[in-house]
Chain A
């Protein structure tokens, strides 16, 4: 089953509440998938800084002395520990060096997401526990997406949880199941992509990453996904400036959207949206099958 939520704020006065609003939406979707949950939050980027969200199964070992370890490469580096995750903020120019050093010195650390503004958190467990573990409710931001998983195609693990990073400031969540993911994974491995899990959604994320590496933009990559991915999907993709939605042509995986002057919201069900302010007067609709949608902040577009 799985549940997806997304929230894109137009009204800046709501930005401090993004984490709280998105958390409530995600917790409401718990009975669509109680295995694991994840959230991607986009905050305002600060000039010349880059963010790296990393995860470890042994945070007490991997994150010990991490800031001191990275200082020689970038004296401005900061590390904020959040349970099994850490957010590393660096000078944008040093970001790749920091990442390289990290992979050499702390090979157990996995990169969840990177870019100017995204932070990605995901873990095994109920959405309410996952959001409280990472303090999501206290986070502000401009937009974000969340996912609660009912596993069908691969094991219930942290790395099998959503969102999956598809590139800088990009991530993907998926409700559905792909039927050609094994074959597609083999093709992508041949093209040089690497995989952490047997998960079908990770293949979709890698597919988008690979297509964009060939020069497509995200919209073109998603349009290509309609031809190349076989199976059921409602995808929501987070980008630096907003989010996108695409459903397979059969569109049996649910999706409902709501728009007001203050926000654009996505939910697998209307239940996820009922606590949003002014929902009674929102325009509520279902995204069409096989159609790529994008909503973005004009300034950042």
Chain B
């Protein structure tokens, strides 16, 4: 019967009001989901800039946060699908392993830092050090990113529909960077590279995954490592 189905789905959605409920109750609930459980939809209201909202998720839960969050939201996410209907403070989705994190507003410093997998979508702007030391995460920023982004990026992809700040990709390893707008400056050992058909295909897939429909891969430039700083070589001394 349709009525009872509707009731079931309502019961399955658990709401945490952080104005009246300690954060630890939310995070404990997220950490005690057993594999295969079906009560995996969570709603968080009144986050009011709280730190560490929905950190350490290790099951395919769906979390909708209504409002802006503070430090480290969705940190270490492994398989969760977290949407922040607001802006995020420093370190959102830091060290993400897998899953999806979507920020409807802006993100502060070091969004997606050290992330090893999953997809981080920022619909506004990201501040400095976006994707610093990224190790496999895919990051798509609809707006601009700040300085020192993708510093020492090892793998994964950073896609920026707007502009990038100073020292993009400083000391970068094998992370691939795609920027549609201006790059204020490139960091040490980061260079512009040819956009080959395989890169266009890769970028088209990333844009599709991130729900970007009105932008073509051909509008981007690709940046990556000149690979002069991997091992010390006296001939490359001036690249440092």
Which A residues contact B (CB, under 8 angstroms)?
249-252, 254, 256, 269-274, 284-286, 289
Contact = CB atoms under 8 A, between A and B. Distances in A.
A286 B87 CA distance: 11
B115 interface: no
B50 interface: yes
Contacts of A251: 109, 128, 146-147
A286 B127 contact: yes
Interface string B97-122: 00000000110110000000000000
B50 A254 contact: no
Given A254-B109, A286-B108, A271 B49 contact: yes
Interface string B170-211: 000000000000000000000000000000000000000000
Across the A-B interface, give the 8 residue pairs with the lowest CB-CB distance, nearest first. Answer: A271-B49, A270-B49, A274-B48, A286-B127, A270-B68, A274-B49, A269-B70, A271-B70
8 contacts: A251-B146, A252-B128, A270-B87, A271-B48, A271-B50, A273-B49, A284-B87, A284-B105
Contact of B108 (A254, A274, A289): A254
Contacts of A270: 49, 68, 70, 87, 89
Interface in B51-71: 68, 70-71
Contacts of B71: 269
Given A269-B89, A285-B106, A286-B108, 8 more contacts: A249-B147, A251-B128, A269-B71, A270-B89, A271-B49, A273-B49, A274-B49, A284-B105
Contacts of B89: 254, 269-270
B147 A289 contact: yes
Contacts of B146: 251, 289
A252 B128 CA distance: 8
Q: Interface residues of A: mostly helix, strand, loop or mixed?
A: loop
Contacts of B50: 271
B90 interface: yes
A254 B48 CA distance: 17
Interface of B: 48-50, 68, 70-71, 87, 89-90, 105-106, 108-109, 127-128, 146-148
A269 B49 contact: yes
Contacts of A284: 68, 87, 105-106
B46 to A, nearest CB: 9
Contacts of B147: 249, 251, 289
Contacts of B90: 254
Contacts of A274: 48-49
A124 to B, nearest CB: 26
Nearest to B48: A274
Q: Tell which of B49, B50, B89, B147 has the most Cβ of chain A within 10 Å.
A: B49
Contacts of A272: 49
Nearest to B71: A269
A249 B68 CA distance: 26
A92 to B, nearest CB: 42
B174 to A, nearest CB: 25
Contacts of A286: 106, 108, 127
A75 to B, nearest CB: 51
A272 B70 CA distance: 11
A297 B160 CA distance: 38
Nearest to B88: A270
A256 B108 CA distance: 9
Contacts of B106: 284-286
A250 B89 CA distance: 17
Nearest to B129: A252
B97 to A, nearest CB: 25
A161 B166 CA distance: 34
A265 B17 CA distance: 26
Nearest to A274: B48
Contacts of B49: 269-274
B140 to A, nearest CB: 20
A273 B108 CA distance: 16
A249 B129 CA distance: 12
Contacts of A269: 49, 70-71, 89
B126 to A, nearest CB: 10
A251 B146 CA distance: 10
A44 to B, nearest CB: 32
Nearest to B19: A274
A286 B64 CA distance: 24
Nearest to A286: B127
A273 B68 CA distance: 11
A256 B86 CA distance: 14
Nearest to A28: B49
Contact of B128 (A256, A271, A273, A289): A289
Contacts of B70: 269-271
A230 B18 CA distance: 40
